[in-house]
Structure 1
Amino acid sequence: MKEMLHDCLIPLRRQRDFRLLWSARAVSETGSEVTRLALPLTAATALHASPIQMGLLTAASTFPYLLVGLPSGALADRVGRRRPVMTACEAVSGLVMLSVPVAWLAGLLTITWLITAAFVVGVCTVIFRTFNTPHLATVVAEPQRTAALAGFQSVFSVAQIGGPGLAGLLVALLTAPVAIVVNGLSFLTSALCLRAIRTPEREAGTRGPGLGREIAEGLRILIRHPVLRTLSLTGMTVNALGAAQLALYVVFAVRVLGLPGSLVGIAATGFGVGGLLGAFLAPRLTRRYGESRVLLGSVLFFPVAFVGTAAAHGPVWLVIGQLGLSEVITGVAVVSYSVCAGATTMREAPDGLLGRVNATTQFAVQGVMALGGLLGGVLGESLGIRPALWVCTAASLLVIPCLWLSPIRRDAHRAREERSPSTARRPESVPAASRT
């Protein structure tokens, strides 16, 4: 505890273990952004995948949240040393990703291979993220966690800025399957960074009577806690629709908009620029307005990217402008929301149950993306790609009442009253002994 109190006085950028944890995420996320474009491009261009197959590929990476999300949360609260598990997840993911270019060069790559690789990496990602939140609490002191979460969001944003451009270059030079080697190496580099962290890990605080009861406890907390429940419902809505859009985006960009492969990732680049700005603004907005008000303001801009994608048309330069601008705006909103939602979850979760609360939230918020990916494939096959994107756009408006008709709006109102000068104590009401 004393070490944690001492560390909170040191800026995060000067804390060695946080830098290593941050670096691990930086290299891993950059590689993942390359694969986020290269994997579906491999399926769409090299293997000529159908919309249904693209939906299955999208679902394969998120279905593990439904499969192992809840058990991994209970285990994260039980396990005393979480860092070795996280390191193993990164190492396995790296080896699986490296198998894709090897299979391509050997003439063995199929859609089934890609779906299987996405599924295995998805399982590792679920376990890693579930263990990462309680692990972060051992590395970073509580007063610095909002800043730490913003730092991680900046990592994701920088990766989204540079990743698509790097992916486009690698796809043009090496073909999409071979470009995936970058992700494999990035996972292995991340594993090495994690192994170098020295902060001792405390024993897990809870060891319940059984795995099933511990999972049920995490579900019960999420369902009964009004704030955590609202954040989960909002995340489920936007992620399901985002996955549906993602399942169609590459095919839409290549076959409908006519974008070359090197420019397909332009939307992700715009989101990264906005996300980097959001990571910079989120701690400052939170200090001025409070987390609840930032959450309410952020969701108003969530539908912008859906509109920008569905409405995109015209020459390449205009399409790029439409996609890029809409994604910049959404990137600011989503990252600001994510930082505040993460800090709120860490604060609201009961002691000793953070792993289960986080896993249950991820189970709901990320697991629904598997269904969203399948939904996108079905809508694309039955309605056509652009009409399916408009359906997603209309449905994205649901995120606004989901949050605005919740207790979070009441919390925001209370915070605004507390910060309002009109409610502050007037000078004449201050005891004379306290005046200067």
Structure 2
Amino acid sequence: MTGSLTLADPAPPRRPRVPRLLRQAAFRRYWSAQTVSLFGDQITMLAVPLLAVLAFGAGPAEMGYLTAASLLPNLFFSLPAGAWVDRYPRRRQVMIVADVGRAVLLLAVPLLWWVDALNLPLLCVVAFLIGILSVFFEVAHSSLFAALVRRADYVDANSLVNGSRAMSHVAGPSIGGVLVQVLTAPFALLSGVLTYLISAVFLARTQVTENPVPKGSGRGMAAGVRYVARSAVLRATLLGTTTLNLFNYMFAALFVLYVTTELGVSPGLLGLIIGAGAVGGLLGAAVTGAISRRIGIGPAVLLGFVAFPAPMVLVPLAMGPQPLVLALLFAAEFVAALGVMILDIAVGSVQIAATPVAMLAVVSGFRRTVNYGIRPIGAVLGGTLGAAIGVRPALWIASLGALLGVLWVVFSPLRTMRTLPES
């Protein structure tokens, strides 16, 4: 028997798989805007405090005022901003105005510096005004997200957005530090100006039919608070995250002090550990979609409530030779960053799905008010407890206490929830 063997044409090289959502031009532009804006936030968060220290010799009290100026808008404006945004039909426009406004305010800093008119009180005013615009940007984001993304894609879309957030936490401070070193702190802020303007351009080019404001909507702040209080799912996630934030900020208030003074880790090594550990956030963003499909969205929320705070116990547990201490600190940072991504993506998807479109902004504003309001309380409690009983015992209380947040979710419908809830 004779014959010939015909060789098949070589297969073309496989292209990297692009997530389906990123093939959609509208979502791709929205995601790009979010990504660039997040990097702008990180650069600003580093450059403004460095400017206060390097240019004005700000001490602990002045740095406290500056930090408070940037955080206070979350407490005082989140809820009213959300109520207003729910009544305004063009949420994308709100985000564009917020981006342009933040760019203008940041641009004013190097200009005032150039004419020798900048001082610390003015810098605090700029930080406060940027904080207000950031609140409007964030509360409008939920409504635009719901208009762009199909319900079935909430988890995947949140994974992409939070992946950008994780990447900004890894690379943003490094980029900001280099820019401050090369350009000086005032002019490093010009890169923040650029990121906000690029974000505004991406949003302006995002074609989306926004959800209309239904008749009877926009009943105000009280309606948003009542809705969260009556929703078993939203109530459980808010109480769980608030409990977790309380103990997490108790922990955060003592972490750097404990690691540098009692464990003897240099600031440079600590920075490397935190930066390397943050890579866990990228991994968390990559695997959360698969996890939630495998075990269900509710169990994924439960997993996040445990995986985020549980690694904190490695910090007060760390002792012995420095290589072992550094390994435990890295493991704590890496696994906690992975856990917080699972938690943020799963909880964020559940909260959007469980909220009526007409109330997305006000409910988001209420959550920000509570969650940001508890943070300074946690920090003060942590410092007070550390002074009273010692830093290491206080860290044990904070790290174990953070696990209590999961109890709110265990005794809620989320425990057995396989798919996203209905609003």
TM range (shorter): 0.7 to 0.9
* Residues 21 and 197, structure 1, Cα contact 8 Å, conserved in 2: yes
Q: CA deviation at 1:93?
A: 1.1
Higher mean Cα deviation, 59-68 or 274-283?
Answer: 59-68
Letter in 1 for 2:131: G
Distance change (3 Å), C-alpha of 1:250 and 1:399? closer
Q: Name the structure 2 match of 1:424.
A: none
Q: Distance in 1 between matches of 2:183 and 2:318?
A: 29
Q: Name the structure 2 match of 1:215.
A: 221
Q: Distance in 1 between matches of 2:114 and 2:254?
A: 27
Distance change (3 Å), C-alpha of 1:98 and 1:15? same
Q: CA deviation at 1:289?
A: 0.6
Measured on the aligned residues, the alpha-carbon RMSD in Å equals 3.5
Distance change (3 Å), C-alpha of 1:247 and 1:192? farther
Q: Is residue 139 of structure 1 aligned with residue 148 of structure 2? A: yes
Distance change (3 Å), C-alpha of 1:393 and 1:101? farther
User: In structure 2, the residue corresponding to 1:203 is in which secondary structure?
Assistant: coil
Letter in 2 for 1:173: V
Q: Distance in 1 between matches of 2:23 and 2:105?
A: 34
Higher mean Cα deviation, 187-196 or 164-173?
Answer: 164-173
Q: CA deviation at 1:17?
A: 0.9
Q: CA deviation at 1:148?
A: 0.7
Q: Name the structure 1 match of 2:243.
A: 237
Q: Extract unaligned runs of 5+ from structure 2.
A: 1-18
Q: Extract unaligned runs of 5+ from structure 1.
A: 1-9, 417-436
Higher mean Cα deviation, 327-336 or 227-236?
Answer: 227-236
Q: Name the structure 1 match of 2:45.
A: 36
Letter in 1 for 2:244: V
* Residues 243 and 404, structure 2, Cα contact 8 Å, conserved in 1: no
Q: TM-score, normalization: structure 1?
A: 0.79
Distance change (3 Å), C-alpha of 1:40 and 1:312? farther
Q: Is residue 339 of structure 1 aligned with residue 345 of structure 2? A: yes
Q: CA deviation at 1:56?
A: 3.4
Q: Distance in 1 between matches of 2:323 and 2:52?
A: 26
Q: Name the structure 2 match of 1:430.
A: none
Q: Distance in 2 between matches of 1:374 and 1:63?
A: 16
- After superposition, what is the alpha-carbon deviation per residue over 1:363-403, rounded to whole angstroms, capped at 9, x for unaligned? 21234335456667x659x939x956863662243332232
* Residues 273 and 329, structure 2, Cα contact 8 Å, conserved in 1: yes
Q: Name the structure 2 match of 1:178.
A: 187
Q: Distance in 2 between matches of 1:344 and 1:30?
A: 26
Distance change (3 Å), C-alpha of 1:339 and 1:169? same
Q: Name the structure 2 match of 1:129.
A: 138
Q: TM-score, normalization: structure 2?
A: 0.81
The 5-angstrom pairing of residues 10-409 of structure 1 reads 11-208=20-217, 213-243=219-249, 258-260=266-268, 265-266=271-272, 269-270=275-276, 272-303=278-309, 306=312, 323-372=329-378, 379=384, 383=387, 391=394, 394-407=397-410
Letter in 2 for 1:330: A
Distance change (3 Å), C-alpha of 1:315 and 1:396? closer
Distance change (3 Å), C-alpha of 1:292 and 1:71? same
Identity %: 30
User: In structure 2, the residue corresponding to 1:328 is in which secondary structure?
Assistant: helix
Distance change (3 Å), C-alpha of 1:186 and 1:193? same
Distance change (3 Å), C-alpha of 1:308 and 1:27? farther
Letter in 2 for 1:237: T
* Residues 59 and 373, structure 1, Cα contact 8 Å, conserved in 2: no
- After superposition, what is the alpha-carbon deviation per residue over 1:27-75, rounded to whole angstroms, capped at 9, x for unaligned? 1111222233333333445544343443333333222122111112222
Distance change (3 Å), C-alpha of 1:407 and 1:222? farther
Letter in 2 for 1:281: V
Q: CA deviation at 1:140?
A: 1.4
* Residues 54 and 247, structure 1, Cα contact 8 Å, conserved in 2: no
Distance change (3 Å), C-alpha of 1:299 and 1:181? same
Distance change (3 Å), C-alpha of 1:388 and 1:93? farther
Distance change (3 Å), C-alpha of 1:122 and 1:235? farther
Distance change (3 Å), C-alpha of 1:112 and 1:394? farther
Letter in 2 for 1:100: V
Q: Distance in 2 between matches of 1:264 and 1:194?
A: 37
Distance change (3 Å), C-alpha of 1:125 and 1:207? farther
Distance change (3 Å), C-alpha of 1:225 and 1:52? farther
Q: CA deviation at 1:278?
A: 0.7
Q: Distance in 2 between matches of 1:198 and 1:127?
A: 20
User: In structure 1, the residue corresponding to 2:214 is in which secondary structure?
Assistant: coil
Q: Distance in 2 between matches of 1:76 and 1:318?
A: 50
* Residues 236 and 408, structure 2, Cα contact 8 Å, conserved in 1: no
- After superposition, what is the alpha-carbon deviation per residue over 1:226-281, rounded to whole angstroms, capped at 9, x for unaligned? 22122112222333455566677788889985425xx7754553354111111111
Q: CA deviation at 1:314?
A: 10
